[in-house]
Amino acid sequence: MPFNVVDQNGLHRGVLLKKHLINDDEYLKVEQKNYWLCALTNITTEDLNFDLFQVKKLWAERNKLTDKNGVYKDSVLREQVLKRAASYYSGDLGFEEALRFLYHRFVWSHAKKEIESKFSIKGYIFIDPDKIKLKDDKLITDLPDNIPSCPVNEFGSPLIAKVISQPRVKLDSVRIGQVYVNKQFTSYKLLSGGVVINLTLPCYIDGCRQGDFILIYLDKNKPKLTLINGMYYDISERAFKLFG
């Protein structure tokens, strides 16, 4: 049961899809563990046709509020949902807002490829659930105004992140077989939504500075490709092996 996402000016920017998890490795790490994925798009939750009744039923079943016939009391569900949501969010929430909030935090997911196949997605960003406001079934968060256009490729639409500190280049000695070779790494501290990402690429990259955007293409929650200033860099496991 997704939220519509609006910026600080109340403009519709996208739809919250799910709690997200990137498989961290030595090249890409997310500094926090609880973050959500937002699709930047003109579509709204109303276009997705989700059934609130089914969400309520599923939440009642998972929290063992149903009897042997699968029936639950709406008042009991409402009380449980509002009480549990209050332990994670300090603002005032209506029942449906609280249900959406908990569903995102613990259960909700929707297939990224299914969304992309049906609707035009501009890209994705992460949302920090500790830096949001909820009002009128909308999620309000700070978003940059100058988000770049994002090419779609075999991995779909990219995760959009902004460089927030000057990149660092490191020279390291790596053993390949019986030989040591010098290998260059370029490291970036990025911000996607309100979530910090550390990205390290096993090559020297010139021309990307603080304030620039980097597009990261994911497949099964693992980074496969980046787009930096018009140049694609393959960051699949195969490519890393070619670098040593």
Number of domains within the chain: 2
The residue among 97, 113, 140 that closes a domain is 140
Residue 217 domain flag: yes
Q: Are 135 and 21 found together in one domain?
A: yes
Model's pTM, two decimal places?
0.73
Number of other CB atoms surrounding residue 243 within 10 Å: 16
d(CA 60, CA 72): 7
For 98-144, the pLDDT digits (tens) are: 877 776 666 555 545 556 666 778 899 998 888 888 888 788 888 87
Q: Are 33 and 131 found together in one domain?
A: yes
Q: Are 229 and 116 found together in one domain?
A: no
Residue 135 domain flag: yes
d(CA 82, CA 98): 6
Domain hosting residue 22, numbered range? 4-140
For 68-107, the pLDDT digits (tens) are: 888 888 888 888 888 888 887 777 778 877 877 776 666 5
Residue 96 domain flag: yes
Q: Are 181 and 117 found together in one domain?
A: no
The residue among 93, 112, 140 that closes a domain is 140
Instruction: Note the Cα 56 to chain centre separation in Å.
Output: 25
Q: Are 163 and 136 found together in one domain?
A: no
d(CA 21, CA 37): 9
